[in-house]
Structure 1
Amino acid sequence: MSGKQDCKTRYPLLLAHGLGVTEHGGLYVPWGRVPDVLRAHGAEVCFGGQDAWGSIETGAAQLAEAVRKIRHLYGCERVNIIAHSKGGLEARHLISAMGYGKYVASLTMLSTPNRGSRVAELLLHARPGVAVWARGNDAWWRQGGDKHPDALRAGEQLTPAYLEIFNRTHPDACCVYYQSWGARLGKHNTDAAMRLTHGLFYPAHGDSDGLVTPQSARWGRYRGTLTGVSHQQLVDAQGVDSGGFDVRGFYVRLVQELVQMGF
Structure 2
Amino acid sequence: MLRNATTQYPILLVHGLFGFDRIGNVELFHDVKQALRTAGARVFIPQLSATHCNEARGEQLLAQIDRVLEGTGVDQVNLIGHSQGALATRYAAAVEPEIIASVTSVSGPNHGSELADFLRKALTPGRLPEHVASTVATLFANFLSLLSGQPDLPQNAIAALNALTTEGVGAFNDKYPQGLPKTWGGKGREVVNGVRYYSWSGTLQGGLVDQGLDALDPLHGFLQAFSHYFTTEAEQNDGLVGRYSSHLGKVIRSDYPLDHLDSLSQTAGPLRKGIDPIDLYVQHAERLRKAGL
Task: Calculate the TM-score normalised by the size of structure 2.
Answer: 0.81
- The structure 1 residue matched to 2:114, chosen from 107, 111, 118, is 118
Aligned CA RMSD, in angstroms, stands at 2.1
> CA, structure 1 residues 30+205, in 2 after alignment: closer, same or farther (shift >3 Å)?
farther
User: Which residue of structure 2 lines up, in the alignment, with residue 89 of structure 1?
Assistant: 87
User: Which residue of structure 1 lines up, in the alignment, with residue 138 of structure 2?
Assistant: 138
What secondary structure sits across from 1:139 in the alignment? helix
User: Which residue of structure 1 lines up, in the alignment, with residue 245 of structure 2?
Assistant: 216
Task: Calculate the TM-score normalised by the size of structure 1.
Answer: 0.90
For residue 82 of structure 1, report the CA deviation from its aligned partner. 0.7
For residue 240 of structure 1, report the CA deviation from its aligned partner. 6.4
Partners of 2:118 and 2:268 in 1: CA distance: 30
User: Which residue of structure 2 lines up, in the alignment, with residue 49 of structure 1?
Assistant: 47
- The structure 2 residue matched to 1:170, chosen from 171, 176, 196, is 176
CA contact under 8 A between 1:7 and 1:256: conserved in structure 2?
A: yes
Q: Which amino acid aligns with 1:251?
A: Y
CA contact under 8 A between 2:20 and 2:28: conserved in structure 1?
A: yes
- The structure 1 residue matched to 2:104, chosen from 108, 111, 126, is 108
Range 135-144 or range 164-173, more displaced: 135-144
Partners of 2:6 and 2:58 in 1: CA distance: 25
Structure 2 unpaired stretches of 5+: 179-191, 215-219
What secondary structure sits across from 2:164 in the alignment? coil
For residue 237 of structure 1, report the CA deviation from its aligned partner. 6.0
Equivalenced residues, count: 257
What secondary structure sits across from 1:88 in the alignment? helix
Partners of 1:81 and 1:111 in 2: CA distance: 14
Q: Which amino acid aligns with 2:204?
A: L
Where does 1:110-259 land on structure 2 (aligned, <5 Å)?
110-127=106-123, 128=127, 129-143=129-143, 144=146, 145=151, 147-172=153-178, 173-187=192-206, 188-189=210-211, 190=214, 191-199=220-228, 201-203=229-231, 205-206=233-234, 207-236=236-265, 238=267, 241-243=270-272, 244-259=274-289
Partners of 2:172 and 2:55 in 1: CA distance: 12
Partners of 1:241 and 1:29 in 2: CA distance: 21
Where does 1:26-65 land on structure 2 (aligned, <5 Å)?
30-65=28-63
Matched residues, percent identical?
Answer: 26
